[in-house]
Structure 1
Amino acid sequence: MKSAFFLSTLLLLGNSLLAQIEDKRGIVAKGAQLEKVKDGFSFTEGPAVNRQGDIFFTDQPNDKIYRWNPNSNQITLFREGAGRSNGLYFQLDGKLIAAADLNNELWEIDPQTGKETVLVPSFRGKKLNGPNDIWVRPKGGLYFTDPLYPRPYWEGIRGKEMEQDGQHVYFLSADRTELFRVAEDLKQPNGIVGTPDGKYLYVADIGDKKTWKYEIQEDGYLTNKTLFCEMGSDGMTIDERGNVYLTGKGVTVFDRNGEQIAHIPVPENWTANVAFGSLTRNTLFITAMGSVYTLKMKFRGVW
């Protein structure tokens, strides 16, 4: 009886410890706990912050974009019929860029009117595989990943084969006149984020379980590909200290040198994406399966 009780106690203790936040550098605000904001979604993705600190995110299977107000902690519907948008990102002019993979396009949405403009309908005469995540660089222009995740709403050959000859990373110039590939040697690029000075770009190759770091050139091309860490990611963000936040099984945080410094467990089967919200940018907003969560951080996110 003693041994059985002791074993069950150890298991309970182990599970409790596994549920705790691992934080080697004190990046989580003192006393902060993970808080569920709302559940009842199908699959949440693509959190993006505007100037006011509001977070826009998608419920991709239900084809909707929602808006979280950090002041009221309330979530409201922003748009229904969102082109099956996945990743989102705000430009400096306030326009929302959306990876709309209903027809494998990249959209620009006016948050005031809700009207969309198709920025990228195709590449070299063929549909994209399915734009997934986006990062807008400070100088203008944007990067997006184009992996293949077959969707049940795609018909015919689109649901079975890649439109393009591989899964790549693309750059769209600020004046929208140039679209070209900047990384063609990855298995399945997904999460993407750059540094606030616009010098470096991180791309998570979720298919190869690696995240790479590149130097960004003035013309948008990437050079000096180096391994950042041995972990892929669905979505990504970065804070003011250069710490990079990867997702999948919870949120795993690496410092700028690629050393793991924290892990935030999330009580869902999958954590899709993260972004910093609120006017002070110190609230980590987490999209995970059918729920969204927040966690107060010591450091601010960048935008």
Structure 2
Amino acid sequence: MVEASRRHLLAGGLAAVAGSALARPALAQAFPFKPNQRYPDPAVEILDPSFAKYRIYSSSIEQLATGMRWAEGPVYFPQGRYLLLSDIPNNRIMKYDEVKNSFTVFRENANYANGNARDRQGRLVTCEHSVTRRITRTEKNGKITVLADSYEGKRLNAPNDIVVKSDDTIWFTDPLFGISGEWEGFRAKPEQATTNVYRIGTDGKLTAVITDLLNPNGLAFSPDEKKLYVVEWRGTPNRSIWSYDIDAQGKAANKTKVVDAADFGALDGFRVDRDGNLWCGYGSNGALNAEAADAGGRKVFSLRGKPEDLDGVMVFSPAGKPLAFIRLPERCANLCFGGPKGNRLYMASSHSLYALYVEAHGAV
């Protein structure tokens, strides 16, 4: 019955399925989606022939859930075969169960949770983006443990994205988004002088590893964990991905630009596959044209580029070469690999959660 309702949802809207498990949690616009009926899916655009081996010929993009205001921070739990993701403005964490094909609220009043990760013991680690402005771990019994909420006696800014390394250290970015307005939390004055990338050691010590990026955002390690990639959200002149060499003590060196989003694109959250490729959430950066254009008798400053041509997932080689673009009808903020074989790409995109099976697996 759930699958039948889902097909009806994709074909015609939420009204006819208002009682289904997928429809009940919606608190925002529900985005209707018409999947492509042809194989291979034309939404998967190959920019370099080397990407062809990662495309599954008979796989297409699916919309799994909708009704969020700004979907972020997906993380997959293989033991339970479910995915958690944040709906930041609605201040909740959502749960997609791929066995039951259900979409429900996992946690209300989530302190505007943003990035989520799974530690080596299978516990949820979360960036609480506003209000509490801290990193927490959800224990197996449901208890919340605070891992970090201040640095050098001052409150963190707004923890954003997070990753757990194989040595159990936890790395996260701390830009200003959760305290810079009233959309993803509450406006507040920052106490830190810089926007940093932090490391929580196994002893609980918090260290500022990278301090020279303006609003660092998504982050991920290379497969061998010798390089850390970080998105600089307010890079000049464009958003960028930087790589740093990470030594055994967790220190960063040799800052190198890997990707420059020079086509008015906005890099956000991303993941690295086992071959070292970077699968990046993508969309318009919101920049306006310098000159206004006539639109029905009004002078309008339109967006640079075409947002509809930027929304989706960009895939880059380890050297930053564009390999593919997965076109979505909504801007993708973040993604992760999951599924029983680890080859299902989950994409948290504005109002909705999408998925695509690929011949790639997440590095971590």
**What's the TM-score, normalizing by structure 2?**
0.73
The amino acid across from 1:20 in the alignment is: A
Residue of structure 2 equivalent to 1:204: 231
Residue of structure 1 equivalent to 2:302: none
SS at match of 2:220: strand
Residue of structure 2 equivalent to 1:175: 203
For residues 44-69 of structure 1, what are the alpha-carbon distances to aligned partners after superposition, in whole Å with 9 as ceiling and x for unaligned? 11001223342211111122112222
1:73 Cα deviation after fit: 3.0
1:233 to 258, 267, 270: 267
Distance 1:42 1:114, change over 3 A: farther
Is the contact between residue 78 and residue 338 of structure 2 (CA under 8 Å) also seen in structure 1? no
Is the contact between residue 38 and residue 292 of structure 1 (CA under 8 Å) also seen in structure 2? yes
Aligned equivalents of 1:299, 1:137: Cα separation in 2? 20
Residue of structure 1 equivalent to 2:357: 296
Residues 69-218 of structure 1 mapped to structure 2, 5 A cutoff? 69-101=97-129, 102-110=131-139, 112-149=140-177, 150-152=180-182, 159=187, 161-176=189-204, 178-208=205-235, 209-218=239-248
Distance 1:22 1:242, change over 3 A: same
Is the contact between residue 133 and residue 145 of structure 1 (CA under 8 Å) also seen in structure 2? yes
Q: Are residues 1:251 and 2:279 paired?
A: no
SS at match of 2:89: helix
The amino acid across from 1:267 in the alignment is: P
Distance 1:153 1:226, change over 3 A: closer
The amino acid across from 1:103 in the alignment is: T
203-212 vs 50-59, which deviates more?
Answer: 50-59
Is the contact between residue 97 and residue 107 of structure 1 (CA under 8 Å) also seen in structure 2? yes
Q: Are residues 1:261 and 2:299 paired?
A: no
Question: Which of structure 1's runs of 4+ aligned residues deviate more than 3 A?
Answer: none
SS at match of 1:165: coil
Residue of structure 2 equivalent to 1:20: 43
Aligned equivalents of 2:352, 2:63: Cα separation in 1? 7
Residue of structure 1 equivalent to 2:63: 36
The amino acid across from 1:106 in the alignment is: I
Is the contact between residue 79 and residue 114 of structure 1 (CA under 8 Å) also seen in structure 2? no
1:114 Cα deviation after fit: 2.5
Is the contact between residue 241 and residue 257 of structure 2 (CA under 8 Å) also seen in structure 1? yes
Aligned equivalents of 1:100, 1:160: Cα separation in 2? 14
Q: Are residues 1:272 and 2:302 paired?
A: no
Q: Which runs of 5+ in 2 are unaligned?
A: 1-41, 284-311
Aligned equivalents of 1:265, 1:30: Cα separation in 2? 16
229-238 vs 70-79, which deviates more?
Answer: 70-79
SS at match of 1:30: coil
Aligned equivalents of 1:98, 1:151: Cα separation in 2? 21
Is the contact between residue 64 and residue 79 of structure 1 (CA under 8 Å) also seen in structure 2? yes
Aligned equivalents of 1:145, 1:45: Cα separation in 2? 14
1:28 Cα deviation after fit: 2.3
The amino acid across from 2:260 in the alignment is: E
**What's the TM-score, normalizing by structure 1?**
0.87
Supply the RMSD in Å over aligned alpha carbons. Answer: 1.8
SS at match of 2:150: coil
Once the two structures are aligned, what percentage of the paired residues are identical? 32
1:75 Cα deviation after fit: 2.1
Aligned equivalents of 1:134, 1:35: Cα separation in 2? 26
Distance 1:78 1:113, change over 3 A: farther
Is the contact between residue 70 and residue 277 of structure 1 (CA under 8 Å) also seen in structure 2? no
The amino acid across from 1:74 in the alignment is: S
Residue of structure 2 equivalent to 1:50: 77
209-218 vs 64-73, which deviates more?
Answer: 64-73
What number of residue pairs does the alignment pair up? 280
Distance 1:235 1:266, change over 3 A: same
Is the contact between residue 89 and residue 183 of structure 2 (CA under 8 Å) also seen in structure 1? no
- Structure number with greater CO (CA < 8 Å, separation at least 6) is 1
Aligned equivalents of 2:326, 2:184: Cα separation in 1? 35
